[in-house]
Structure formats: structure tokens, C-alpha cells
């Protein structure tokens, strides 16, 4: 078996080919194109396995090499401390060290989702970009009105009817900002339509439709949260336990222990930020929809504070989502004892 380390960049790929004993057979640099990769693979000794660091360019290289290699592995960038801490560092040395980590089975491998999941995940993350741009345009409209001293209702500003009335009847709106306001409004409408089309296409996707429908039976889970969970999680077997899932999604802090002293830090920055954001937002609304989650929130709020209570609710929702995903069955909601007591028939003559 031959072991290959790749140091991937935007325009070039440095490579190092070693055998099981660590002897270098080939090393050099090729262009980061499919054509040059095809020519390079014809020169490699057989069989071979390859590893590379996770970057923005890793996905297409991984897909292109996978049919030809015995194995393709992707390394976690934060875990490759040996490369970052080296005194002498260049592309050739980096490729050699990745090859050594692969050869000695020391490579800190990270999960690589399937091509179909990564393609749909790209669409969902693009939808998030559109939402951010919509928010920026709404803030720009509000800023233009405040800069020119125009009185307006902040709660109704972005309603279509109110916005038209504002331009038509409010004499305070300066002529210099009217074209800017119209362009901003048209941009928001266009972005909203595109965002709706992207979400609708993902919800109707045969690969996701049934899974999304099951996930939405969990209290507080809407279409965006369900899509984010399905696409960022990928295969549910990746999380063997609830605690590991909570850690991966950044719903707990780091733990640093020394002797008898244990220190808990704020929320970890090593997390999947996309699903962390939607879970925290969903956890703020879920206690209004489910009695058990409301109980969790109130119990934790009495012990600590509202933020910690929200994280506790988010952790409970992770447990529900994992259960639904693993069993491939809808969640059976708990019955609210307060509503059950209200619906219980009263004996004749009993006062209400």
C-alpha cells in the first residue's frame, strides 16, 4: 500500500507518496484541476490511499479521487497540531507530514458527508445568505428614513401596504431617497421569492421529504430547523449518544479539569454553528408549545438563568430529534396534565 498526502490550495496541490516503511517514492506539485489530477493518477503506484486537510476545495477533490483510490480520508484542521507548530513549514513538508499521519494511522479524520447531502446542504446555506441580505436591506431602509427624519411605524415598516402608503402620502420622504427606498424594497421582494423557492425545493426533495415530516412532529421544530438538522447531521449514526450530539452542536461549554478542580467555560467555539443557531432559536419558542419543555425551562431557570434554561430546552429537543431519527417514527406528544384536568368530566353537583 502506498500512502499519499495532499496539501490543497486554490491553484495548486502539493503531494507526497510514501510506502509503508516511510520511504518517499514521489513528491511534487500539480495544478488544482480535474484534468491534471487525471494525468497524475496514471503515474501512481498501485494500490494507494490518500489524505488531505479539510478546506473549501476538499469536496470536489474528494469526489474526483474516490473512485480510483482504496480510501480517501479528510483530516480535521484543528487536530493537525504537528503541521501548525512546525518550525519549518512549506507545502512539500506539509504534504509529507499528512502522508506520515495517514501511514501511521495517526490522522485525525473528520466526517465527509455523501455528495447528495453536501449538494443539498450547499443550497440550504445559500438560503441563509439570502436571509442575511434581506435583513441588511430592511435595516438600510430603516436607516435611510432615520437619516432624513421621516416619522414611521417600525413594526409595520416592511409591510407592503404600509410601505406604499408611506411613499405616497408622507411628505417628509425626501425625493433623493425615494429611488433608494424602491430599489431596496424590490430587492427584498426578489430575495424573499428566491428564498421561498429554495426551501420549497428542499422540502419536496424525495431524499428529505419523509425525514423532514417526521422531524417536524417534535415541538418547536419548523421546516428550517428540520432541514438544517437533516442536512448538517447527515447520517444519524454519527451521534452514538445524546451527550456527543449536544457537544457537536455547541450547546455546552468546554470542561477543563486539573486535580480536584473542574472549570466549565462558556459555549464552545468548536461546534456546528449552523445547527447551533437554529436549535437555540427553536428552543426559545418550544416551551410555549409543549408542557414537558416548559417544565424543563422553568426548572432550569430557577436554578441558574434564562440563557441556561434555553440551552437545557435545546438539549432536550436534541434528544427528541435523535429518537425520531433513529426509530424513523413520529414523536408521540406528552399529554399536558393541566389540559387533561380541564377536560375531565365533573361529577354531577360539583362546583366549578
pLDDT tens by residue, 28-47:
999 999 999 999 999 998 89
- Taking the C-alpha atoms of residue 22 and residue 16, their distance in angstroms, rounded to an integer, is 11
Question: Is the model's pLDDT at 277 over the cut of 50?
Answer: yes
Question: Is the model's pLDDT at 96 over the cut of 50?
Answer: yes
Query: Average pLDDT in the 218-235 region?
Result: 90
Tell me what pLDDT residue 351 has.
47
- For residue 47, whether the previous peptide bond is cis, meaning omega lies within 30 degrees of 0, is yes
* Chain length of the chain: 352
Question: Is the model's pLDDT at 202 over the cut of 70?
Answer: yes
66: helix, strand or coil: coil
Q: In whole angstroms, how far apart are CA 299 and each of 138, 219, 296?
A: 38, 18, 5
C-beta neighbour count of 301 within 10 angstroms: 17
The span from the first CA to the last CA of the chain, in angstroms, equals: 81
Tell me what pLDDT residue 185 has.
93
β-partners of residue 13 are 8, 30
Residue 45 phi, psi (nearest 5): -70, 150
C-beta neighbour count of 80 within 10 angstroms: 19
Query: Average pLDDT in the 44-65 region?
Result: 91
pLDDT band at 105 (very low <50, low <70, confident <90, very high): confident
Question: Is the model's pLDDT at 341 over the cut of 80?
Answer: no
Predicted structure pTM score: 0.83
Query: Average pLDDT in the 5-27 region?
Result: 91
Nearest Cα neighbor of 174 from 149, 155, 207, 152 is: 149
pLDDT band at 271 (very low <50, low <70, confident <90, very high): confident
Q: Specify the range with the lowest mean pLDDT, choosing from 11-20, 183-192, 200-209, 299-308.
A: 299-308
Amino acid at each position: 500500500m502506498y500512502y499519499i498526502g495532499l496539501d490543497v490550495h486554490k491553484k495548486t496541490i502539493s503531494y507526497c507518496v510514501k510506502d509503508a516503511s516511510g520511504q518517499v517514492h514521489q513528491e511534487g506539485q500539480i495544478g488544482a484541476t480535474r484534468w491534471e489530477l487525471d494525468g497524475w493518477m496514471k503515474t501512481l503506484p498501485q494500490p494507494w490511499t490518500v489524505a488531505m486537510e479539510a478546506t473549501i476545495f476538499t469536496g470536489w477533490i474528494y469526489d474526483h479521487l474516490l473512485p480510483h483510490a482504496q480510501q480517501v480520508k479528510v483530516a480535521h484542521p484543528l487536530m493537525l497540531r504537528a503541521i501548525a507548530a512546525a518550525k519549518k513549514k512549506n507545502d512539500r513538508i506539509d504534504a509529507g507530514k499528512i502522508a506520515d499521519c495517514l501511514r501511521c494511522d495517526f490522522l485525525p479524520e473528520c466526517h465527509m458527508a455523501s455528495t447528495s447531502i453536501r449538494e443539498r446542504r450547499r443550497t440550504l446555506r445559500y438560503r441563509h445568505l439570502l436571509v442575511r441580505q434581506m435583513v441588511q436591506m430592511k435595516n438600510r431602509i430603516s436607516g435611510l428614513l432615520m437619516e432624513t427624519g421621516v416619522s414611521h411605524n417600525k413594526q409595520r415598516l416592511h409591510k407592503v401596504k404600509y410601505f406604499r402608503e408611506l411613499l405616497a402620502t408622507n411628505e417628509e420622504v425626501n425625493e433623493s431617497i425615494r429611488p433608494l427606498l424602491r430599489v431596496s424594497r424590490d430587492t427584498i421582494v426578489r430575495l424573499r421569492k428566491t428564498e421561498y423557492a429554495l426551501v420549497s425545493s428542499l422540502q419536496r426533495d424525495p431524499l428529505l421529504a419523509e425525514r423532514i415530516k417526521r422531524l417536524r412532529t417534535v415541538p418547536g421544530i419548523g421546516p428550517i430547523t428540520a432541514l438544517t438538522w437533516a442536512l448538517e447531521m447527515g447520517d444519524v449514526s454519527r451521534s452514538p449518544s445524546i451527550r456527543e450530539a449536544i457537544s457537536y452542536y455547541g450547546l455546552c461549554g468546554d470542561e477543563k479539569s486539573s486535580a480536584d478542580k473542574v472549570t466549565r467555560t462558556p459555549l464552545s467555539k468548536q461546534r456546528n454553528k449552523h445547527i447551533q443557531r437554529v436549535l437555540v432559536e427553536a428552543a426559545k419558542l418550544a416551551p410555549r408549545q409543549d408542557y414537558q419543555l416548559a417544565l424543563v425551562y422553568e426548572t432550569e431557570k430557577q436554578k441558574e438563568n434564562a440563557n441556561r434554561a434555553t440551552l437545557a430546552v435545546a438539549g432536550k429537543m436534541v434528544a427528541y430529534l435523535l429518537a425520531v431519527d433513529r426509530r424513523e417514527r413520529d414523536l408521540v406528544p406528552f399529554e399536558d396534565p393541566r389540559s387533561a384536568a380541564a377536560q375531565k368530566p365533573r361529577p354531577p353537583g360539583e362546583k366549578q
